[in-house]
Chains A and B, each alone.
Chain A
Amino acid sequence: MIYILQQALNALQLGSIYALIALGYTMVYGILTMINFAHGDLFMVGAFFCFLIAVYLKLSFVPTLLLSMLGVASLGVIIERFAYKPLRNAPRVSAIITALGVGLFLENFTLALSPYPQHIPTLINSTTWNLGGVSVSSLQIIIIVLSLALMFILDFIVQRTKVGMAMRAISWDKTIVPLMGVPVNKIISLTFAIGTGLGGAAGVMYGLAYPVIDPYMGIMVGWKAFISAVVGGIGNIRGAMIGGFILGSVEIMVAAFLPSTYRDVVSFALLLILLIFRPYGILGKPHPQKV
């Protein structure tokens, strides 16, 4: 029982990181119906920003987190402006191939600057408590609480502000939204900034939890977050959060009770099975094709 509780806590930690990254996939898909396959690599860049800021500027946790988020968000906006915007009316597959290219660029650019894995210094002096046999570290609590807070803020923005309403409207009919007086390009930039900023935050937290970082760390984590977004219903914000926690739980539980090499097999099998029975994901709705 204690073992299960311990694993549940681990699942919550991993799940919240997946959920944060999944939000970036789902927001961009919702607004542009494209999968930003560079998103996993932006997560990696977030971890590297964290490393650079912590080592060279020697800042503490909060400014490091904020600066890393700001850095990744700016990078996300620049990528959208120069790589994706010119393709907005091109076939979707062109945009997706470009996204894969941007991802490869980010990986190799980082590799060129930093060929060896790096070690993020300790930013949080983690203390571990023992609660009835379950060991809880302050780092775990910070990651979970911070992720939930960021998701809460995002949900508020999307559901309760004019910008969020504009985002939801764009996801249904992009062409007429400008005629409501909404600056669509600004909203798209903002969507990229928020989505990639959350990915950057996930990179920082992941880097604190697993401090050895390398340029390829975003690939697998990115795929898992993408699965989370699809499982929850791509384009659906709350779906991405739920999907992240489901995938985190599945992975941790598989690793806890089966040989840990089964972990990825089970995650991808989950995606395939879900796609057969609920192709639109848990909260997704079929998006009728306009004729």
Chain B
Amino acid sequence: MPLLEIKALSHNFEGLRAVSDFNLNLAEHELVGVIGPNGAGKTTVFNLITGVYRASEGNIRFAGQELVGQTPHRITKLGIARTFQNIRLFRELSVLDNVRIAHYAQAAYSPLEALLHLGRYRSEEKRITDHALELLSVFKIDAFAFEHSKNLPYGLQRKLEIARALATNPQLLLLDEPAAGMNPNEIMQLMEFIRWIRKTFHLTILLIEHQMRLVMGICERLVVLDFGATIAAGLPVEIQNNPKVLEAYLGGEIVK
């Protein structure tokens, strides 16, 4: 059974069909890319999976559970985490707190225990802080743990966002344009990094990307969107030579 099963998913924004009849099956541990020109509906698909938008039609099943109609925080709890196209950190909170907050659902203590400083409050807060610090050190950003996250250099902000996503303990990680703003050298490092987190954290990864170098380099399969519709799906080599894809990306006349 696939981990993620999206069937006939469609979404309308006041008459505009942002996504139409989108289908995707993700097996456990797969790494799949969604590509397409700007405005093709890629981020909308992410927003539908994570419950930020409620799908107009269709089904999304994750590990046997229907996601359409669930609230975003429930979906996060079920094991789906994401990053954002334009980095969305809590800029005024410390690097450590950015990761700590993502442990919210895992902290099992009641407000009363917190007020009385009793029971699970201390042990749980300590466990969360330790785990957050561990994640930061795995990502080699622990030196900045007490800095405001907005003071981190751009590349580390991207890493922190991924660390924060992993702190929710996901099975499925959605990466929204992780290579945005990176040079070819940094993209090479990012490819290694994505492969490494997939292995280390046993993740299934779905990523949106513009950078063909990255997509062709690491994705096992690709789905191509254009104006909300799926125009191609398959292995990277197949996609590379698909005339429909070239047309969507480069414009019609070149293909002829």
Contact A165 B101 (CB under 8 A): yes
Q: Which of B51, B84, B111 contacts A176 (CB 8 A)?
A: B84
Q: Which residues of B contact A180 (CB under 8 A)?
A: 73, 76, 101-102, 104, 164, 168
Which A residues, 109 to 133, have Cβ-Cβ distances below 8 Å to chain B?
none
Contact B93 A172 (CB under 8 A): yes
- State the CA gap A173–B92 with chains docked (Å): 10
Minimum C-beta distance from B174 to chain A (A): 10
Contact B101 A166 (CB under 8 A): yes
Q: Give the interface SS of chain A, mostly helix, strand, loop or mixed.
A: helix
B100 within 8 A of A: yes
Contact A178 B92 (CB under 8 A): no
- State the CA gap A177–B72 with chains docked (Å): 9
B81 within 8 A of A: yes
Contact A175 B111 (CB under 8 A): no
- State the CA gap A242–B130 with chains docked (Å): 34
B50 within 8 A of A: yes
Contact B91 A172 (CB under 8 A): yes
Contact B50 A169 (CB under 8 A): no
B137 within 8 A of A: no
B256 within 8 A of A: no
Q: Which of B90, B91, B102 contacts A181 (CB 8 A)?
A: B102
| Smallest CB gap from B105: residue in A | A181
Q: Which of B76, B103, B106, B107 contacts A179 (CB 8 A)?
A: B76
**Most chain B beta carbons < 10 A, residue from A156, A175, A179, A184:** A179
Minimum C-beta distance from B160 to chain A (A): 13
Contact A168 B71 (CB under 8 A): no
Contact A168 B111 (CB under 8 A): no
Which B residues, 135 to 192, have Cβ-Cβ distances below 8 Å to chain A?
164, 168
- The proximity string for A residues 179-215 relative to B, scoring 1 for CB distances below 8 Å and 0 otherwise, is 1111110000000000000000000000000000000
Contact A166 B104 (CB under 8 A): yes
Q: Which residues of A contact B82 (CB under 8 A)?
A: 179
Minimum C-beta distance from B68 to chain A (A): 16
Q: Which residues of A contact B72 (CB under 8 A)?
A: 178-179
- State the CA gap A177–B104 with chains docked (Å): 10
B114 within 8 A of A: yes
Minimum C-beta distance from A162 to chain B (A): 5
Q: Which of A160, A173, A182, A285 contacts B104 (CB 8 A)?
A: A182
Contact B76 A161 (CB under 8 A): no
Which A residues, 135 to 171, have Cβ-Cβ distances below 8 Å to chain B?
153, 156-157, 160-163, 165-166, 168-169
Q: Number of residues in B with C-beta < 8 Å to the partner?
A: 34
| A-B pairs with beta carbons under 8 A, tally | 81
Contact A173 B90 (CB under 8 A): yes
| Smallest CB gap from A176: residue in B | B88
Q: Which residues of A contact B76 (CB under 8 A)?
A: 178-181
Q: Which residues of B contact A162 (CB under 8 A)?
A: 101, 103-104, 107, 109, 125, 128
From known contacts A166-B104, A180-B76, infer whether A172 and B90 are also in contact, taking CB-CB under 8 Å. Answer: yes
B246 within 8 A of A: no
Q: Which of B73, B77, B100 contacts A184 (CB 8 A)?
A: B73
From known contacts A172-B90, A172-B92, A172-B93, infer whether A181 and B71 are also in contact, taking CB-CB under 8 Å. Answer: no
Contact B104 A161 (CB under 8 A): no
Q: Which residues of A contact B107 (CB under 8 A)?
A: 162
- State the CA gap A82–B125 with chains docked (Å): 34
Minimum C-beta distance from B130 to chain A (A): 15
Minimum C-beta distance from B27 to chain A (A): 24
| Smallest CB gap from B167: residue in A | A180
- State the CA gap A156–B125 with chains docked (Å): 13
- State the CA gap A176–B87 with chains docked (Å): 11
- State the CA gap A9–B171 with chains docked (Å): 59
| Smallest CB gap from A288: residue in B | B91
- State the CA gap A166–B103 with chains docked (Å): 10
- State the CA gap A189–B241 with chains docked (Å): 54
- The proximity string for B residues 108-129 relative to A, scoring 1 for CB distances below 8 Å and 0 otherwise, is 0101001100000100010010
Contact B100 A181 (CB under 8 A): no
Contact A181 B168 (CB under 8 A): yes
Contact B100 A165 (CB under 8 A): yes
Contact A182 B88 (CB under 8 A): no
B52 within 8 A of A: yes
Residues of chain B having any CB pair with chain A under 8 Å: 50-52, 71-73, 76-77, 81-82, 84, 88, 90-93, 97, 100-107, 109, 111, 114-115, 121, 125, 128, 164, 168
4 A-B pairs besides A162-B104, A162-B109, A181-B76 with CB distance below 8 A are: A162-B125, A173-B90, A179-B81, A181-B105
Q: What are 7 A-B interface contacts by the 8 Å CB criterion?
A: A153-B115, A165-B100, A169-B90, A169-B97, A178-B72, A179-B82, A184-B73
A-B CB proximity, top 6 nearest = A178-B72, A181-B105, A181-B76, A178-B73, A161-B114, A180-B102
Residues of chain A having any CB pair with chain B under 8 Å: 153, 156-157, 160-163, 165-166, 168-169, 172-173, 175-184, 285
